[in-house]
């Protein structure tokens, strides 16, 4: 399995609070991604990174920001969590245009 960890694995928070999710890889892959998974929607891309300090928006980026200060870490921040951001969040990595490898996911509940 690709060396991808996500933390925390589960989190419950309240509306309006900031939340940061962490993705850590040991594969030294260039590309990292954040997705959210909701029933009936498959996975939708939030943000991605193509190198240290290089990031871009995906299809559902509103309300989310990301940072990548090291190759191995990609952080996803919800500046002010809302109930619509209750979801399962997956990190993925890839090296170039090949397949992406996924982490175990973080289940976030916003009350």
Partner 1 sequence: AQSVTQPDIHITVSEGASLELRCNYSYGATPYLFWYVQSPGQGLQLLLKYFSGDTLVQGIKGFEAEFKRSQSSFNLRKPSVHWSDAAEYFCAAKAAGNKLTFGGGTRVLVKP
Residue 97 in 3-state DSSP? coil
- By CB under 8 A, name the one of 21, 46, 48, 66 that touches partner 1: 48
When binding is defined by CB under 8 A, the residue of 87, 100, 108, 110 that contacts partner 1 is: 100
How far apart are the C-alpha atoms of 44 and 34, rounded to whole Å? 9
Instruction: Work out how close the CB of 93 gets to partner 1 at its nearest, in angstroms, rounded to a whole number.
Output: 11
**Cβ distance to partner 1 smaller for residue 63 or 105:** 105
26, 39, 81 from 88: Cα distances, Å: 22, 10, 14
Give least dist CB 83 to partner 1, A: 22
């Amino acid at each position: 399995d690709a060396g991808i960890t996500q933390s925390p694995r589960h989190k419950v928070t309240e509306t309006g609070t900031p939340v940061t999710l962490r993705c850590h890889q040991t594969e030294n892959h260039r590309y990292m991604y954040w997705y959210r998974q909701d029933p009936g929607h498959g996975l939708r891309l939030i943000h991605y990174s193509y190198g240290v300090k290089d990031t871009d928006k995906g299809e559902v980026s509103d309300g989310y920001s990301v940072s990548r200060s090291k190759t191995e870490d990609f952080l996803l921040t919800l500046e002010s969590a809302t109930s619509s951001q209750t979801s399962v969040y997956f990190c993925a990595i890839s090296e170039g245009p090949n397949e992406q490898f996924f982490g175990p996911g973080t289940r976030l509940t916003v009350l």
